[in-house]
Amino acid sequence: MKTATLAFAALCLVAGGATADEYTLKSLSIDHPFARATPPGAKTGGAFFVVKNAGATSDRLLGAASPVAGGAELHEMAMDGGVMKMRAIGAMDVPAGGKLELKPGGLHVMMVDLKQPLKPGDKVPLTLTFEKAGSIVVSVDVEAMGAMGGMTHKQ
Ligand SMILES: [Cu+2]
């Protein structure tokens, strides 16, 4: 009896951890925000999520902020002289009826001046500000270094 109860409790923990968080802000939905754990001393960390837009008008992600970081920038990856580099951009488009996808190796939110390392299992608040829909605070799950957000991505 006791073993069965424990097994059930363990199952609940696993199921809870695997649940993808989804947030709704007007016609936008923000799916499974996650970040990668950072090594000790690292000052920056990337955050990733998908924004879907069910509305008839496009929107734009204008900025982000987190209490665990001195700042948060919108970054894209771009080829520069044959080398893949990231650079700050002013906004990210969320097309009407479409989606904006942030993922490792592509668009991301870069938390800079981290006040502490991001550890697997941590949950970090992140405020996202959109041009039309306004602002929302999402909880970012910190996953292992190299995590792809529990999803497979086509390259
Ligand atoms: Cu970056």
CA–centroid distance, 1 to ligand 1, in Å, is: 51
In whole angstroms, give the CA distance from residue 72 to residue 66.
7
Question: Which residues are in the CB-under-5-Å shell of ion ligand 1?
Answer: 75, 86, 110
Instruction: Tell me the β-bridge partners of 69.
Output: 114
With a CB cutoff of 8 Å and minimum separation 6, the contacts of 16 are none
CA of 94 to the centre of ligand 1 (A): 19
C-alpha 47 – ligand 1 centre gap (Å): 9
Show the tokens assigned to 32: 């499974």
**Range 134-153 average pLDDT:** 83
Cα-to-centroid distance, 147 and ligand 1 (Å): 16
Rounded CA separation 62/86 (Å): 17
- Map residue 3 onto helix, strand or coil: helix
Residues 91-131: tens digit of each pLDDT = 999 999 999 999 999 999 999 999 999 999 999 999 999 99
| Count of other CB atoms within 10 angstroms of residue 120 | 13
Left, alpha or beta for 72 (phi > 0: left; psi -120 to 50: alpha)? beta
Q: Calculate how far, in angstroms, residue 134's C-alpha sits from the geometric centre of ligand 1.
A: 23
Question: How far is ligand 1, taken at its centre, from the CA of residue 56, in Å?
Answer: 30
pLDDT reading at 151 higher than 50 = no
pLDDT band per the 50, 70, 90 thresholds, residue 146: confident
Rounded CA separation 117/36 (Å): 10
